[in-house]
Structures are given as structure tokens and as C-alpha cells.
């Protein structure tokens, strides 16, 4: 007999509650990887702000900036032509959208 999604969810919740009681530590939740807060460098903070954000939010804000300032190449939309502010982050005048995360990671510090 297969478990229903509701029954499986209740069982997982009970197991998590037991673990919290046993270890005395709060449940971790989904705050790792792409959802973990990161601190932007001063150069990147000019674009995304200086508050700690999840990496996914940083990428979204950079894309908002790129689109707001029309920095995608007219012929090849995968290419980003950096302005003075974005050039500080990328380290060069132009970068592909696939390189962007590599350049952003140099300007992000994970919280401990």
C-alpha cells in the first residue's frame, strides 16, 4: 500500500520533531546552497545593495540592473556589455551570461 502525500508529510514532520527534541538544535530548514544568505562586496553592493541576500536574489537583481540599463548586446543577447559599475564586478568590458555567475561569486562572501 502506497503512502499518501499527506501521511508521508506527517511522518516526516514527526521524525523532524523527534530529531529536534533529541539534539536540542532547531530544525535547519532550506537555508543552504542557493538560498543561503551571502554578503556582497562594495563593488557589487552598488548594484544589489549592501544587505545580505540569497545568491538567487543577487542574480535576479543583477539581471534587473542589466535590463534596466539595456546592457545586453543587440546582436547576441547572451553577451552583456558592462557599464562602468558592472565592469568593476566583471573585471572586463563584456561577459557572456554563462560567465556571469563566475564573476559574481568573486564578489560574494558566505555568512558563517
* Number of domains the chain is built from: 1
In a domain, 43, yes or no: yes
pLDDT confidence tier of residue 100, bands split at 50, 70 and 90: very high
User: The domain that contains 104 carries what CATH number?
Assistant: 1.10.245.10
Confidence (pTM): 0.70
In a domain, 70, yes or no: yes
Look at the block and give the residue holding cell 539595456.
Answer: 70
Read out DSSP for 40-86? EPHHHHHHH-SS-EEHHHHHHHHHHHHHHTT-B-SS-TTEEE--HHH
In a domain, 6, yes or no: no
In a domain, 4, yes or no: no
- Please give the residue range of the domain that contains residue 42: 34-110
Tens digit of each residue's pLDDT (9 = 90 or more) over 43-65: 999 999 999 999 989 999 999 99
In a domain, 60, yes or no: yes
Amino acid at each position: 500500500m502506497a503512502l499518501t502525500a499527506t501521511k508521508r508529510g506527517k511522518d516526516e514532520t514527526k521524525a523532524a520533531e523527534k530529531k529536534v527534541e533529541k539534539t536540542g538544535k532547531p530544525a535547519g530548514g532550506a537555508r543552504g546552497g542557493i538560498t543561503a544568505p551571502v554578503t556582497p562586496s562594495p563593488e557589487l553592493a552598488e548594484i544589489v545593495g549592501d544587505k545580505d541576500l540569497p545568491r538567487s536574489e543577487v542574480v535576479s537583481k543583477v539581471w534587473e540592473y542589466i535590463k534596466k540599463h539595456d546592457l545586453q548586446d543587440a546582436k547576441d543577447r547572451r553577451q552583456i556589455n558592462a557599464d562602468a559599475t558592472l565592469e568593476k564586478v566583471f573585471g572586463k568590458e563584456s561577459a557572456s551570461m554563462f560567465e556571469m555567475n563566475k564573476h559574481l561569486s568573486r564578489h560574494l562572501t558566505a555568512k558563517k
